[in-house]
């Protein structure tokens, strides 16, 4: 009987294991997980609700190496159909796909229930230290045990979110596969000045990330002032384009032009007209400002850095896609596959990363089925 070892029981690893068991008869699938429990990161996704995918799966929502085969993997996977087949009902909330229960916990429970039913071995507190190709296939070496395998699937994700006890990915990959070094993405920004008086204030803003006069990227959405700088979905999206020395230009009232606001202020019967227009903390901040309306429409903050991996949702970088076949199998080492966030494919906020984790997992399970049944 052929044996498949999957390293990592996160979203991609566990889904891939389930698909391997469903698709391939008479196969031994073992999942090795460093944490005490599987799916720890999945439970934290979407603020505990698990944003599984997005209606608009356009490729510009991803960065890294979005090759033709990665595009096919992204566009061919139908999350709703796949999850329904596993017993999980999903629903759209705007463009975002969530479990019908709106609980990440139910996604985890469904996957674990399926894994149990299919007789998968999920071995927790099994930190893989290295993977060595040999004449039979691979030797997977853990701290306290070794395993022989015909196929190895690396699904170790990234250190983003500090939800994995292990961070030895680069060491395991070693010289088996080339890797683009990981760097933080989808994270908050440190700013100068830090507007501490606005801490906790949320504004629906138009935000531009600028490098001098050059626009790096722009986003619309909720921005949150914090005691270190700024946060919020739009800030996290912009963090992908961070360059040292860049700055933010924030329009805190995008639905009005400066002229329209001036007309509203001039016609106001109030002593402090901005009180009737904006959050009281913003009003207090602007009242000390020489040109409050200009600042309201174009608040400039230097970005002094990004917060680290502990607060990032994903890491950019990972295993070089071009070192793999279109089946995500190493070109140099037959039988060695890579899936999920460990690949140099990173999505935006909005379900893109989980979509890719599940889609790449199914793709590899189908590829291995093809090899075994050839």
Q: Treating both helix axes as pointing N-terminal to C-terminal, what angle do 104-117 and 11-23 enclose, rounded to 10 degrees? A: 30
Tell which one of 17, 29, 33, 191 touches ligand FAD (CB under 6 A): 33
Placement of tokens 């292990």 in the chain? 166
- DSSP β-ladder status, 138-142 and 299-306: unpaired
Tell which one of 79, 82, 166, 219 touches ligand FAD (CB under 6 A): 166
Residue 131 near ligand FAD by CB under 6 A = no
Q: How far is the CB of 317 from ligand FAD (least distance, A)?
A: 13
Please state, in angstroms and as integers, the Cα–Cα distance from residue 123 to each residue in 4, 13, 83, 105, 175, following that order.
13, 12, 24, 20, 26
Cα–Cα distance, 86 to 365 (Å, whole number): 15
170 vs 280, which CB is nearer to ligand FAD?
A: 170
Judged by CB under 6 A, the stretch of 149-157, 218-226, 299-307, 322-330 that binds ligand FAD is 149-157
296 vs 342, which CB is nearer to ligand FAD?
A: 342
Judged by CB under 6 A, the stretch of 85-93, 151-159, 192-200, 289-297 that binds ligand FAD is 151-159
Binding mask 256-295 for ligand FAD (x = CB under 6 A): ----------------------------------------
Tell which one of 17, 46, 66, 306 touches ligand FAD (CB under 6 A): 46
Triad 197, 201, 204: Cα angle to 5°: 135
90 vs 158, which CB is nearer to ligand FAD?
A: 158
In sequence order, which residues have a C-beta less than 8 Å from that of residue 79 and are 6 or more positions away? 52, 53, 90, 97, 355, 358
> Do the Cβ atoms of 7 and 140 come closer than 8 Å?
yes
Residue 6 near ligand FAD by CB under 6 A = no
Cα–Cα distance, 284 to 301 (Å, whole number): 18
Q: What is the DSSP letter of 342?
A: G
The two three-digit tokens of residue 244, written as one number: 């040292």
Q: Which residues pair with 202 in a beta bridge?
A: 224
Binding mask 343-362 for ligand FAD (x = CB under 6 A): --------xxxx--x-----
Q: How far is the CB of 197 from ligand FAD (least distance, A)?
A: 28
- DSSP β-ladder status, 2-7 and 151-154: parallel
Interface with ligand FAD (CB under 6 A): 7-13, 32-35, 40-42, 44-46, 50-51, 127-128, 155-158, 160-161, 164, 166, 168-169, 172, 313-314, 340-342, 351-354, 357
């Amino acid at each position: 009987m052929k044996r498949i070892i999957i390293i990592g029981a996160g979203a991609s690893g566990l889904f891939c294991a389930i698909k391997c068991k469903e698709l391939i008869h008479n196969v031994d699938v073992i999942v090795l997980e460093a944490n005490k429990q599987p799916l720890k990161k999945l439970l934290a996704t979407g603020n505990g609700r698990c944003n599984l995918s997005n209606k608009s799966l356009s490729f510009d929502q991803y960065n890294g190496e979005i090759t033709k085969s990665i595009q096919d993997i992204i566009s061919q996977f139908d999350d709703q159909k796949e999850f329904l087949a596993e017993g999980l009902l999903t629903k759209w909330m705007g463009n975002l796909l969530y479990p019908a229960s709106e609980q990440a916990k139910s996604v985890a429970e469904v996957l674990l229930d399926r894994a149990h039913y299919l007789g998968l071995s999920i071995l927790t507190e099994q930190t893989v230290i290295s993977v060595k190709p040999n004449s039979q296939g691979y030797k997977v070496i853990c701290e306290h045990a070794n395993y022989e395998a015909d196929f190895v699937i690396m699904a170790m994700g990234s250190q983003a979110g500090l939800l994995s006890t292990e961070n030895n990915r680069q060491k395991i990959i070693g010289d088996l596969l080339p890797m683009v070094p990981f760097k933080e993405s989808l994270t908050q920004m440190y700013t100068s000045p830090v507007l501490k008086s606005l801490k906790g204030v949320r504004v629906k803003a138009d935000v531009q990330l600028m490098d001098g006069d050059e626009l790096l990227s722009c986003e619309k959405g909720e921005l949150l002032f914090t005691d270190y700088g700024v946060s919020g979905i739009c800030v996290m999206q912009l963090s992908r384009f961070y360059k040292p020395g860049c700055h933010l230009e924030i329009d805190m009232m995008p639905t009005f032009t400066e002229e329209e606001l001036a007309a509203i202020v001039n016609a106001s019967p109030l002593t402090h007209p901005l009180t009737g227009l904006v959050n009281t903390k913003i009003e207090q901040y602007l009242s000390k400002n020489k040109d409050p309306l200009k600042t309201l429409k174009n608040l400039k903050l230097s970005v002094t850095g990004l917060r680290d991996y502990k607060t990032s949702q994903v890491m950019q970088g990972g295993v070089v896609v071009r070192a793999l076949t279109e089946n995500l199998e190493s070109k140099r080492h037959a039988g060695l596959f890579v899936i999920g966030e460990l690949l140099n494919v990173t999505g935006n906020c909005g379900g893109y990363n989980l979509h890719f984790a599940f889609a790449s997992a199914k793709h590899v399970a189908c590829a291995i089925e093809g090899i075994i049944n050839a």
